[in-house]
Structure 1
């Protein structure tokens, strides 16, 4: 007989994840132009930026806009879309729609020591440890572009008291 303990321990998080995205989809139905980029769209923008940077001759209006707003950062073998900033020390990652729940959840439960983003992005972030909206907003503002409605919806969704990683 197969042991299903691993499946059962992760299932509550998946259900809450689905509830979060159901509520987030409802919100963005009324405001479709405000919806964050999907992974596919973010990858497309990364490719457009790379092509625009390689162009020697004149660029199109969209290319100028992308180059002035975003940049591409490669860490190891991962490429990230980031918001351009005058301060080179301030790096704000653009979080794709599909990754919002995971990023919010990880920041929400982050404790002291090495956490997931430090391993993935090789950065140091503020650790909130199950704190509320204000501390989470500060943590996100430092490193990630997460829409405020997503954070508010996350805080209204019930979550299991377990870590998924």
Structure 2
């Protein structure tokens, strides 16, 4: 009699553990679904409107307005496709005509020695495009820096938030 009770309890515990694992998986999937959907839509826009191939990156900037950036190639040349989320306006920036994301990240690491970079993405401000980089400083505070896409010049810094 005792062994049947122990066996039943093991099955019950195993069942509860499985339900918890599936619930956690569902919550994570649900949380990431909007991001995945927006990324998929941005990549489709980049492929169709900007004739982009070999897509190798996606970033989402939500500072003032929401901008989606897709990295890839057009006609064999490396490009960034910047899409205004609200209007759907598409801008194609040739990487050779500006500063790449990797160069900007190297500048951030050299100038601010952050604990971690949180995001780095393109957005349009006026007629110009800029890189926005958010980072966590070694002391745990947040920092934010903006660089001009064309020149790589640092435009604005906010530290110790």
What TM-score results when the alignment is normalised by the length of structure 2? 0.29
What TM-score results when the alignment is normalised by the length of structure 1? 0.28
Q: Which structure has the bigger radius of gyration?
A: 2
Q: Which has the higher helix share?
A: 1
Q: Which has the higher strand share?
A: 2
